[in-house]
Amino acid sequence: MSRFQVVSGKGGTGKTTVAAALALALATEGKRTLLVEVEGRQGIAQLFETEALPYEERKIAVAPGGGEVYALAIDAELALLDYLQMFYKMGSAGRALKKLGAIDFATTVAPGVRDVLLTGKACEAVRRKDKAGRFAYDHVVMDAPPTGRITRFLNVNDEVAGLARIGPVHHQAQAVMRVLKSPQTAVHLVTLLEEMPVQETVDGIAELRAANLPVGRVFVNMVRPRLLDGASLALLDGADGGVPRSAVARSLSAAGLGGARKGGNAEKLVDPLLAQAAEYAERRALEHTQRAVLEGSGPPLAELPLLAEGVDLAGLYRLATDLRKQDSA
């Protein structure tokens, strides 16, 4: 399995939640996972119910089997100071530039520079080894920018390598792209079974492939439970003569929802109940269409359920368990 897992998705699809669940799922049997945030939203800290993440790697969770999840919120300004020290030995000079506002100017006015720093810091964590020659982390998971700009975000080092043809900047950009375009990396996309996010996902897959970036899985998030079987949906569609209203009323009565006599409470519930069922059947049909579109796009699909009570820490562990089951199936 790829050591660098990049998770993107249209806003509102739950990409941060999926990235966090994936990090937990990978940190099994004593493995160490680093979960990286690059957008400055502190969404990871909220999910794990911990204080805001600093610009340092901090353990935030223990996975089943004794694995550990660490997290890092990458700050572009501090990453640039690291970069200046690493390649130009500008420790004190870099701090002076920060006081003058030059660091903020570089990372704000030149967004390409910011993306180089963010991807570079994450790739450094992927490549890092301890004194025994073992990787510091078994997996690094990045909660990346949305689908609409993920290809440009990941490919920016290629552009920098082309502009700076010699020197440490060129070599750093090349080293980052070797990681991003290698089998070590997988770029996953998160979607819902709705037309707009599905279309953006399909477009994102095409853009990633055109840039020779490795596409991983499509995570279909917030999948609603299946409440009616095929035979019931066929009745709602009228394929078998429609739903027998009297039978529905009797079933409601048997469930303690009023008498089955004409005009009774059960009969009054039939129309609202059938209307809700029709809405459910319509949504199921739309979801079936969108799932077929995703299946035709190529990458394997993984599904995560809708948690009706919302995503808290317990829910995050539940989603991680679902991912582990799908990986072992």
For the chain, give the mean pLDDT.
82
Contacts 24+ apart (CB under 8 A), 272-276: 273/248, 274/236, 274/243, 274/245, 274/248
Q: How many domains does the chain have?
A: 2
Task: Please report whether residue 299 resides in a domain.
Answer: no
So what's the pLDDT on residue 17?
97
Query: Tokens 């989603």 appear where?
Result: 319
Q: Which domain holds residue 239?
A: 230-284
Query: pLDDT tens, 223-271?
Result: 988 876 766 666 566 555 566 666 666 666 776 666 545 545 666 777 7
Judge whether residue 318 has pLDDT over 90.
yes
Q: Give yes or no: residues 190 and 262 share one domain.
A: no
Give yes or no for a contact between 323 and 25, defined as CB atoms under 8 angstroms apart: yes
pTM over 0.85: no
Residue with the bigger pLDDT between 74 and 244: it is 74
Query: pLDDT tens, 32-50?
Result: 999 999 988 899 999 999 9
* Of 155, 172, 168, the residue nearest 112 (C-alpha): 155
| Reported confidence tier of residue 314, pLDDT bands at 50, 70, 90 | very high
Q: What is the mean pLDDT of residues 108-130?
A: 78
Q: Give yes or no: residues 273 and 125 share one domain.
A: no
Give yes or no for a contact between 75 and 55, defined as CB atoms under 8 angstroms apart: yes
CA-only gyration radius of the chain, Å: 25
Q: Give yes or no: residues 168 and 243 share one domain.
A: no
Give yes or no for a contact between 142 and 7, defined as CB atoms under 8 angstroms apart: yes
Q: Give yes or no: residues 71 and 182 share one domain.
A: yes
Q: Give yes or no: residues 36 and 169 share one domain.
A: yes
Q: Give yes or no: residues 159 and 103 share one domain.
A: yes
* Of 309, 318, 56, 4, the residue nearest 186 (C-alpha): 4
Task: Please report whether residue 289 resides in a domain.
Answer: no
Q: Give yes or no: residues 195 and 241 share one domain.
A: no
Q: What is the mean pLDDT of residues 87-116?
A: 50
Q: Give yes or no: residues 51 and 194 share one domain.
A: yes
Q: Give yes or no: residues 241 and 220 share one domain.
A: no
Judge whether residue 308 has pLDDT over 70.
yes
Judge whether residue 283 has pLDDT over 60.
yes
Q: Give yes or no: residues 242 and 182 share one domain.
A: no
| % of the chain residues with pLDDT over 70 | 73
Q: What is the mean pLDDT of residues 162-188?
A: 77
Judge whether residue 101 has pLDDT over 70.
no
So what's the pLDDT on residue 254?
72
Query: Tokens 């941060």 appear where?
Result: 16
So what's the pLDDT on residue 103?
41
Task: Please report whether residue 38 resides in a domain.
Answer: yes
So what's the pLDDT on residue 126?
95
Task: Please report whether residue 84 resides in a domain.
Answer: yes
Task: Please report whether residue 322 resides in a domain.
Answer: yes
Q: Give yes or no: residues 264 and 138 share one domain.
A: no
| Reported confidence tier of residue 107, pLDDT bands at 50, 70, 90 | very low
| % of the chain residues with pLDDT over 90 | 50
Task: Please report whether residue 300 resides in a domain.
Answer: no
Task: Please report whether residue 298 resides in a domain.
Answer: no
Query: pLDDT tens, 179-198?
Result: 999 999 999 999 999 999 99
Task: Please report whether residue 290 resides in a domain.
Answer: no
Residues paired with residue 205 on neighbouring β-strands, in sequence order: none
| Reported confidence tier of residue 176, pLDDT bands at 50, 70, 90 | confident
Give the CATH number, domain containing residue 22. Answer: 3.40.50.300
Judge whether residue 85 has pLDDT over 70.
no
So what's the pLDDT on residue 225?
83
So what's the pLDDT on residue 233?
63
Count the neighbouring beta carbons within 10 Å of the beta carbon of residue 223.
14
Q: Give yes or no: residues 44 and 119 share one domain.
A: yes
CA distance 155 to 165: 16
Q: What is the mean pLDDT of residues 201-207?
A: 97
Judge whether residue 88 has pLDDT over 50.
no
So what's the pLDDT on residue 258?
62
Give yes or no for a contact between 4 and 39, defined as CB atoms under 8 angstroms apart: no
